Amino acid sequence: MAQVTLIEHPLSPYAQKVKIALLEKNIPFRILAPMGASEDEQKILHSANPRGEVPVLLDGELSIYDSTIILEYLEDRWPETPLLPAGAAERAHVRTLEEVVDTHLEANSWGLAEVTIYRRATGERANALIQYGKKQIMGWFSWLNRELRDRQYFNGETFGWGDIVVAPYVNDAARFGIAPDPQSNLAAWLARIKERPSVTQTFAEAKAGELNPAFMTAALAAGFKREYRDHRLEWMIRAGAVDIVQAGLAHENIRFTETFWEE
């Protein structure tokens, strides 16, 4: 089987979805991690994905981006180990889970990183934003727990797509000291899936890739820009932090989606 290349950052939950799926499907891959790496690798990322986001999957001449589209590609190209559940209703359910956590839940750990790692706020202000993010995450966890019902997996009887897409976000919250209610089925599910080699490896690589706040704030001062788009921008505004967006624009250390054409 030919090898594919995954352009990623180990902490990116979107990249983690793809990595778990590649491991589950036993597809050989090599990793290229360009975030904050050499200029050459950054060039590869931007030519592979005009949004300048990870993950990107390179398969021969093909360059595929957006984690959901990559997962669909893997399922189409390597159908032997299916990850989607059987049945239209179950498939619609796991796709809905993916859409919701990719947008609404993700924005919260992103926002917490903006405060605690990129230090966009300090003191009481930082505490208030952290409390806001924590409350939101606990709300999404209770929603997820209801969606899981009393089943072993989001995919149904066996581990699959529904679990792969939720796992990175529930685990990501642990970086900020947030965990599902220990009595909940969501907590039992998290412990269960952490035992799977694909998940164990992906979470261990994420942990090893944890960011150093001193290094990241220095990077911002040196011209590194964080992407404030879609639900992330909404998070800042809803949290009452429009001034943080304005300061980021003034200091040129935030960016929005890149254009797809040559300026």
Ligand X SMILES: N[C@@H](CCC(=O)N[C@@H](CS)C(=O)NCC(=O)O)C(=O)O
> Which segments within 47-98 are labelled E, that is strand?
56-59, 62-65
Q: How far is CA 67 from CA 7, 18, 21, 117, 129, in A?
A: 11, 6, 11, 24, 28
Query: 117 vs 185, which CB is nearer to ligand X?
Result: 117
Least distance CB 137 / ligand X (angstroms) = 16
The rounded distance, in Å, linking the Cα atoms of 47 and 121 is: 34
Write the CB contacts of 203 (distance below 8 Å, at least 6 apart in sequence).
Answer: 16, 171, 194
Beta carbon nearer to ligand X, 48 or 239: 48
Q: What type of residue sits at position 218?
A: A
Query: Rounded to the nearest whole angstrom, what is the least distance from the CB of residue 120 to ligand X in the complex?
Result: 14
For the CB of residue 6, give the shortest distance to ligand X in the complex, in Å.
Answer: 12
Q: Pairing state of beta strands 56-59 and 254-255?
A: unpaired
Q: How far is the CB of 71 from ligand X (least distance, A)?
A: 9
Instruction: Give the count of beta carbons closer than 10 Å to the beta carbon of residue 208.
Output: 9
Residues that bind ligand X in the complex, under the rule CB under 6 A: 12, 14, 52-55, 66-68, 102, 226-227
Taking the least distance from each CB to ligand X, the nearer of 44 and 54 is: 54
Q: What is the DSSP letter of 102?
A: I
The closest of 2, 209, 40 to 113, measured between CA atoms, is 209
Of 66 and 75, nearer to ligand X (C-beta) is 66
- Residue closer to ligand X (CB basis): 27 or 54: 54
- Residue 103 C-beta: closest distance to ligand X, Å: 9
